[in-house]
Amino acid sequence: MLRTGLAAGLALPLAACTRRGNDAGPAVRVAAASPTPERTAATPAVASPTAARTPTPTPTPTATPPPPPPTPATIEFRPSPVGNGEATLLTVRATERRGQIRFLGQTVPLRQQGEILWAILGVPIDAAPGPRSAEVTLLDANGATSQRVTATVTVATLERPIDYLEVTEEVQSILTPQAAALEEQLRTKEFAAFDPAARWEKPFIRPVAGDISTQFGSGRSVNGGPVGGFHSGADIANDAGTPIVAAGPGRVAFVEAHPIRGISVIIDHGAGVKSGYHHLEAALVMPEETVEAGTLIGRMGTTGYSTGPHLHWEVTVYGVNVDPVTWTQTTFRP
Ligand SMILES: [Zn+2]
């Protein structure tokens, strides 16, 4: 299956991309080393007529050699190609120690780890297939742009099932425009800031026992209606009250009741990655608590827009929903 191949995080360094990155990224050097003597000479002479013509000391030419040009950066995506609704790890090898990347309309900072700069990028489920460029801007020690490099990664469309939901009138009545607006408002707040340091070093663990009842990214048809929207997480069904644990280490960022997602815990794992645990019967942690993979955080329920006890589990990368199950198979760290 295409999905498995991609999701398993096959390390396929796209040599073509790397090469293209180098070619397309002429080093944009900032004129930090503009010769100062010129500026001195250009200063208008404002000496008053009465001023004695004291000989101005000739400035000693302190011609500092220009800094060596930066070594061209090399860029790699893993996996590459990347499926829609999946994440990819971008690594940059460069002499610079800081930078940022612009990809699919979002600009995010690069993290440093030893000789490598890196970022996790999320591809939205509705991203069109085809090559997508990522523009990396690297900064020198003074924070000035040292070089810009463009690399390309291909977005591949993954096959997703369609989920035919039977929803009672009572549950369906939860989905009002007001509920949707409040949900959106809460989501905006929840994805307004991200902890910088990545806290996970292993694949995530499944947060609860049980089978996946609805896959991430499934198309949705409610009560025989047309297929619209997609499923933003993976559902794991079990009995009400089943213990739910954190999938990875992090900081409890939010505990709150959503009109649609119900009672929720959201954990910030750093570097743009968050996980959300929704429709809980009860949350058992408080905001700002530090959790490890396996820390008990709540109990399974059916709060919000839900047809029965299950966990709606989400993983987001800078607010972009990606398949959480892939995170149990891949570490996404350099
Ligand atoms: Zn769900």
Q: Residue 228's pLDDT is what? A: 83
Distance 305 CA to ligand 1 centre (A): 9
Q: How far apart are CA 99 and CA 110, in angstroms?
A: 5
The 8-class DSSP code of residue 78 comes to: E
Distance 238 CA to ligand 1 centre (A): 13
Q: CA angle, 90 as apex, 137 and 134 as ends, to 5°?
A: 50
Condensed to tens digits (0 to 9), the pLDDT of residues 224-279 reads 998 888 999 999 999 999 999 999 999 999 999 999 999 999 999 999 999 999 99
Q: Residue 53's pLDDT is what? A: 53
Distance 123 CA to ligand 1 centre (A): 19
Q: How far apart are CA 274 and CA 322, in angstroms?
A: 10
* CA distances in angstroms from 189 to 185, 193, 289, listed in the order given: 6, 8, 19
Q: Residue 103's pLDDT is what? A: 97
CATH tag for 162-328 (out of 2.60.15.10, 2.70.70.10, 2.60.40.3670, 3.90.230.10): 2.70.70.10
Distance 157 CA to ligand 1 centre (A): 21
CB 244 within 8 A of CB 279: no
Mean pLDDT, range 10-22, rounded to an integer: 30
Q: How far apart are CA 32 and CA 70, in angstroms?
A: 14
Distance 278 CA to ligand 1 centre (A): 8
Distance 321 CA to ligand 1 centre (A): 12
Q: Which of the two residues, 211 and 44, has the higher pLDDT score?
A: 211
**What is the average pLDDT score of the chain?**
84
Distance 143 CA to ligand 1 centre (A): 43
Q: Residue 58's pLDDT is what? A: 59
pLDDT band for position 59 (50/70/90)?
Answer: low
Condensed to tens digits (0 to 9), the pLDDT of residues 61-100 reads 667 777 677 788 999 999 999 999 999 999 999 999 999 9
Contacts of 258 by beta carbon, 8 Å cutoff, 6+ apart: 182, 183, 186, 264, 278, 304
Q: How far apart are CA 77 and CA 18, in angstroms?
A: 9
Condensed to tens digits (0 to 9), the pLDDT of residues 148-191 reads 999 999 999 999 989 888 989 999 999 999 999 999 999 999 99
pLDDT above 80 for 129: yes
Lowest mean pLDDT among 14-18, 47-51, 80-84, 304-308: 14-18
Q: Residue 229's pLDDT is what? A: 85
CATH number of the domain at 2-29+68-156, please? 2.60.40.10
Distance 310 CA to ligand 1 centre (A): 8
Q: Residue 334's pLDDT is what? A: 94
Q: Residue 57's pLDDT is what? A: 58
Distance 300 CA to ligand 1 centre (A): 13
Distance 231 CA to ligand 1 centre (A): 6
- Considering the chain, what percentage of its residues have pLDDT values greater than 70? 81
Distance 212 CA to ligand 1 centre (A): 10
Mean pLDDT, range 25-43, rounded to an integer: 32
Distance 233 CA to ligand 1 centre (A): 5
Q: Which of the two residues, 68 and 45, has the higher pLDDT score?
A: 68
Mean pLDDT, range 44-71, rounded to an integer: 58
Domain ranges in the chain? Answer: 2-29+68-156, 162-328
pLDDT band for position 5 (50/70/90)?
Answer: very low
Distance 71 CA to ligand 1 centre (A): 47
